[in-house]
Amino acid sequence: MAEKKYKVGYTTGVFDMFHIGHLNILKRAKEQCDYLIVGVSTDELVNHDKHKQPIIPFSERIEIVKAIKYVDEVVPQINKDKFAAWERYKFDKMFVGSDWKGTDAWNGFEEQFSKVGVEIVYLEHTDGISSTILREKLKTLQGCDF
């Protein structure tokens, strides 16, 4: 097996209602690094940033992500300070969904991380699935017999 180009990778997410899109991101990230650290957003961070409560509580979401074979370490993501995360975990590659590419926030992260040799890799978003889509489907199913 060929040695992977990067030793330590890092990615974050809410991972609410874990679905195939989440799994695809984790699998693609792990294919490019030896050790993958995943930050799972706390309920408080989701409430603050997205103004909604996750359907699956943090304590359960973190256990789900820990059980994924592509994940080597799971840590709580308590804020969006990616550079503080780098200072703590010393990753050399950060993975994020392609839907963030070109945004002001991620352009800023690219500039900041280029100074310390960290590459940001945008992984393709899995079309047709997201926690938001699942929330909408649940709303339409309310009142239906299962």
For residue range 81-138, what is the model confidence (pLDDT) as tens digits?
A: 999 999 999 999 999 988 889 999 999 999 999 999 999 999 987 666 666 666 676 6
Mean pLDDT value of segment 6-35: 93
- Given a contact cutoff of 8 angstroms between Cβ atoms, the answer to whether 9 and 36 are in contact is yes
CATH superfamily of 6-141: HUPs (3.40.50.620)
- What does pTM read for this prediction? 0.85
Catalytic positions? 50, 52
User: What's the confidence (pLDDT) of residue 124?
Assistant: 85
Helix, strand and coil in the chain, % to nearest 5: 40, 20, 35
User: What's the confidence (pLDDT) of residue 31?
Assistant: 95
Q: What angle do CA 126, 58, 125 make, to 5 degrees?
A: 10
